Chains A and B, each alone.
Chain A
Amino acid sequence: MTGRRVDDGLDRGQPFQFFLDGEAIVAYPGESIAAALVAHGRNVARRTTRADVPRGYFCGMGVCWDCVMVVNGTPNVRTCRTEAAPNMKVQTQRGVGEAS
């Protein structure tokens, strides 16, 4: 999945950056973490407990809990429902909540 922002002249406000496993990601105010990551082509939110397989943004409305990540040290944060913020530290989650 190589998502992107729709480029149709929309003024999204002042961009800022946050970090995915140390990598800088650009986001705009009000965007969810998951959306900003999708727009950056980073689709793996976590790896599962039993099978150790990747999962990412799925339902987009807070129902499925597949997009949970470690955000500023807090595990199991639904990134589809959490706005990105400047300098936020987002980490791919392993299993029940370890950061990878």
Chain B
Amino acid sequence: MADLPKDTDILVIGAGIAGLCSALYLARAGRTVAVVERGEPWGDASGANAGTLSLQVKRPEVLHITRRAIELWQDFKADFGIDVGFGRPGGLRVATNAREVDMLRHSQAEQRTLGIEVEWLDGNRLRDTAPWLGPTVLAATWCDWDSYSSPLQAGRALIDGARRDGVAVIGGAAVTAIAKETKGYRVTTALGVIACNTLVIAAGAWSGEVAAILGVTLPVSADVNMLSVTEPAPHLIDKVVTHIGGILSLKQYPNGTCLIGGGWQGQGGLASGRKEIDHEQLMHNFRVAIGVVPALANLRLVRSWSGFEGVAADALPLFGPLPGRPAAYVNACARGGYSQGPALGLLMAELISAGRTSLPMERFYPARFAS
């Protein structure tokens, strides 16, 4: 394990997807970067999410960021030699009643106006595309961008990749104090003090706490998302499956395991640090999943767990300069931030290195909450 350096050009707080991707692209831009993490690197939301990289489930405001991100996810191997277990089978977003069919139509139309085309499927065409869907599925939209990565594999690969590029990634280094210096910041962690010129808060659900150390209030709350994985089973589901109501994400990995999520809420929260399974919510999650893909009923559940996902009050990314704190930035809580991670990392590197970004990002600046 690497020791905490005494100083660094850029210090990233948080070794999840946002922090590691920011560090990776900053290092590629020639900057010296260290990443400090309170627990294990990749130990919270990034390691405990569904790995879904779906474009069509995203809010209109972040569609273009997500599309960029999926390109970057796809290129990680070629660009960095980082194998994140990426697959791009395309995805189906399903509707199971008349109201959901209307919502899906509306969403399809909205995406079209933004230049994102998804294809409408129902009746025989839907069954031909996905014979494994259950009779409750009335319609679906098909998006060939929809992809997945393996959160387990991606974590290991990104940490290794960042280290290869000279980034110090240090776990067990919870930040307890931050002092403004003439140039940059002096950050006290559980493993010692580190000085930096520039600070990036990428602490996911904990970003509010970290910003508070600097006296800045960020309206962040935490969802406790439950996830489940099945035993490895023969080829069954060959697409990424999502739900217009936001209550299902489902995919089968090449190793045969199926990962079932959908934002069903476990018990606990940031304050207590508890993240437990909620029995009835988990039942609902499986019932929705089996309704959409009946053959899942025959597979065995091997593990269910929950992870925190930090969400800003308006469920849009917290991205950009921290108001009133020079050389301090935030990259966190992007709602489905895992899928957007590489793009938000790249854009953060652009913002810090060049002072501007290749996609318009001002609307996501945390200053929007300053009142």
- Total number of B residues with any Cβ neighbor in A under 8 Å: 8
> Among the listed A76, A96, A98, which residue makes an inter-chain contact with B300, where contact means beta carbons less than 8 Å apart?
A76
User: Taking the nearest CB of chain B, how far is it from the CB of A73, in angstroms?
Assistant: 11
Residues of chain B in range 346-369 having any CB-CB distance to chain A below 8 Å: none
Which residues from 128 to 155 on chain B have a C-beta closer than 8 Å to any C-beta of chain A?
A: none
Are the CB atoms of B234 and A96 closer together than 8 Å? yes
Q: Is there contact, CB below 8 Å, between A97 and B233?
A: yes
Q: Residues of A contacting B255 with CB < 8 Å?
A: 49, 96
Query: B233, A96: Cβ atoms under 8 Å?
Result: yes
Within 8 A of B (CB), among A36-77: 49, 74-76
| Minimal Cβ-Cβ distance residue in A for B232 | A96
Contacts of A49 in B (CB 8 A): 232, 255-256
Residues on B with beta carbons closer than 8 Å to the beta carbon of A97? 232-234, 256
CA distance A82 to B274 in the complex (A): 39
Which residues 153-184 of B have a CB within 8 angstroms of A? none
Count A/B pairs, Cβ under 8 Å.
20
**Which of chain B's residues have a CB closer than 8 A to the CB of A96?**
232-234, 255-256
What CA separation (Å) do A95 and B234 show in the bound complex?
8
Cβ of A98: which chain B residues have Cβ within 8 Å of it? 234
Instruction: Report how far A34 CA is from B232 CA in the complex, Å.
Output: 21
CB distance from A22 to the nearest CB of B (A): 20
* Chain A residues whose C-beta falls within 8 Å of the C-beta of B300 in the assembled complex: 76
Residue of B at shortest CB range from A68?
A: B231
Q: Which residue of B lies closest to A75 (CB)?
A: B234
Q: Is B272 an interface residue (CB 8 A)?
A: no
Interface status of B124 (Cβ within 8 A of chain A): no
Binary contact readout B219-258 vs A (1 if CB under 8 angstroms, 0 otherwise): 0000000000001111000000000000000000001100
Determine the residue in chain B with the shortest Cβ distance to A99.
Answer: B234
In the bound complex, what is the Cα–Cα distance between A98 and B256 (angstroms)? 11
Contacts of B371 in A (CB 8 A): none
- Whether B298 is near chain A, meaning CB under 8 Å from some CB there, is yes
Binding site for A on B (CB under 8 A): 231-234, 255-256, 298, 300
Give 20 pairs: A residue, B residue, CB < 8 Å, sorted on A. Answer: A49-B232, A49-B255, A49-B256, A74-B298, A75-B233, A75-B234, A76-B231, A76-B233, A76-B300, A95-B256, A96-B232, A96-B233, A96-B234, A96-B255, A96-B256, A97-B232, A97-B233, A97-B234, A97-B256, A98-B234
**Additional A-B contacts beyond A96-B233, A97-B233 (6; CB < 8 A):** A74-B298, A76-B231, A96-B255, A96-B256, A97-B232, A98-B234
